[in-house]
Every structure is written in C-alpha cells, then in structure tokens.
Amino acid sequence: MRRVLVGILALSVVPAALAVQPCLDERAGAGRSGDEPCLDSGYWAQINSLDDCRFTFSAGLLPTAQKKASALPVSFQVSGGRCERWPNRSLNVAGTSVLCARSGNGSAIVTLQTRRGELRRVLGPVAARRIPDEPVLETRRSPPKVQVLTLYRSRDYRQVEFGRICSSCRLLAADIQASEADATILDVALVSASESDHWLRCPARFRCGVPEFSPPNEPHVSGCAGRRVCRVWRLSDDETEARDVVQIRYQTEKAACRNCPAGVDYATARKRWEEAKIKAERACTVFPDAPAQLFGKRSSK
C-alpha cells in the first residue's frame, strides 16, 4: 500500500499529457516513421517559455518506468538556440532542467539522444506583434456655423479718423468676432443697415479709403476670411444713432487625437505607442548553433 501511495504522489509532479505519449518526437508537422528513434512512454520531456527569448528544457523518467534500463545521454543538441550543458547522467524520476536561449525570433529545436532513444521538443517562433496605429494630433474643424450680430453706433463703433475726402465726415469702425472660442471667420456679410444719408457703408464711393470689411490691422485688405476678428467700416457726417445687422459665417477648431484609445490623451497614447513599437521590433540575440554536446567515450572534456 505504501508503495502505491508513493507512486501516486510522484506521478503528480509530471504533466499528465506527456505521460501518455508513446513517442516524444514533436517536430512541427512531422509524424513518426517506423524506423525513427523515439523513447517509449516511460519518459517525458517538455519546454517552458520564460519570455520571448528564454526557455527551459526538462526531461525525466516516469515513476512507472524506474525499473527499466537507465536512459544514459548520448548527445544533446540545440538548433536555433543554445542551452546550458546537460548533466552526464541517466534520466531519473526527479528530472533534469536546463536554461536555454532562443537565437533570433525563429523556432528552437532541442534534441536529447539517449541509449534508449531520442527526445525532441520544438519551441515555436516568436509570434509577430502588430504595431498599433500611430497616434496623431490633428486639428479638426466644425461644419460652417452662422452668427448674426447687431451693432449700434453709440455702443460698438468708435471714430478712427476724419474722412479723407469729406472733411466733415468721420470714419468709424467696429470690431466683431464669433462668440465661440477659437472661431475662424469664413466670410462676413451685411444683413441690414439704417437707412440714412448720414450713415454710409464704406467704401461709400471711395470716400472712406477702406473697404466695408477688413482685418483690424490691415485696413486696405478687403474681407476677413481666415481671421478671428473683422473690422466693419462706416462713414458719417452727423451724430445720429444708427444700427447695422451683420452675419458672420465661421468654423471652430479643436485639437483631436487620431488613433488614441477612448479616454486616453495624446501624450499618454503616444508614449504607449512608442513602447509597443520598440517591443514589437525587438528581436532575440542571434548567434550560431553550438556543436552537439557528446557524452561517454565521444565526450570531449
């Protein structure tokens, strides 16, 4: 009874899936041929990845096979990587494990040849990582919007100078802009104005010397497209109150991040993308395969 319990406990330390395999040859896409050397079901071997570049290779004897003839190593070889030296002793129930490194990002094949057959394990290539789309900070414009403003002479206009041709006339100006922040003017148009011979729209038959609408600092430029503020010009020869209704057509601009995850700002998204890009492009160190490690009389010490 005691021997049975010991056997059950020992079996629990070895992966069950490996214990039932009659052949331990795991070459990718290869089946076992009739004359292909391979260990029987009393032995196990496995590869465990530690990270993209490092892994361990382990092999041992199942408790149920411990009375069989010992599996002495004959050679130990790694293709596509390199491992620590394999101990020059028979496989046993405790098992043996060595640390290995992959060469480049391709497959690594570990082969342990013993006097009772061969164990071979394949570590598949590093899975290709997709680099996420690069976050880009861009300016997005809204569809055109319209705002109508009412301007009064007493409230909104101020005198700039006297008329150039009409000595009794005053040249007046009012600066307008859309009420929304970061708005860019597309165009400005007059909707209506006070009907008076004393309140004249510029250029008023060239008596103003300026157009009706201009940028504030460029009075001889006609129109305000692309500007944030526009100046309206009027000519008057009295102090009578007057009123203009002006329409501004404009767009707003907003900085936005293209390819940023929801709820993530541009700076954070950019940093994450750069880290992911470096990781995706990183490759394991490439080195040539080492000669097979030989044991017994053929081993060189």
Distances, alpha carbon 218 to alpha carbons 212, 213, 221, 225, in Å: 12, 10, 6, 13
Distances, alpha carbon 174 to alpha carbons 180, 233, 249, in Å: 18, 7, 17
- pLDDT reading at 9 higher than 70: no
What are the chain's domains? 2-126+284-298 (2.60.40.1930), 138-255 (no CATH)
- pLDDT reading at 277 higher than 70: yes
Lowest mean pLDDT among 23-27, 161-165, 234-238: 23-27
pLDDT of residue 287: 92
Cis peptide leading into residue 291 (ω within 30°): no
Residue 10's pLDDT band (cuts 50, 70, 90): very low
CA distance 64 to 62: 5
Q: 3-state DSSP call for residue 275?
A: helix
What is the SS3 assignment for 204-269?
Answer: CCCCCCCCCEECCCCCCCCCCCCCCCEEEEEEECCCCCCEEEEEEEEEEEEEEEECCCCCCCHHHH
pLDDT in tens, 16-25: 333 333 344 4
Lowest mean pLDDT among 12-16, 225-229, 238-242, 258-262: 12-16
pLDDT, mean over the chain:
82
- pLDDT reading at 216 higher than 60: yes
- pLDDT reading at 12 higher than 70: no
- pLDDT reading at 66 higher than 70: no
pLDDT of residue 121: 96
Mean pLDDT of 11-32: 37
The continuous run of DSSP H or E covering 16 comes out as helix 16-19
CA distance 229 to 221: 13
pLDDT in tens, 98-128: 999 999 889 999 999 988 788 999 999 988 7
pTM of the model: 0.48
- pLDDT reading at 70 higher than 70: no
Q: What burial class does residue 90 get, using C-beta atoms within 10 Å of its C-beta: 0-12 exposed, 13-18 middle, 19+ buried?
A: middle
* 4: CB partners within 8 A, 6+ apart: none
Where do we find the tokens 């057959």? 117
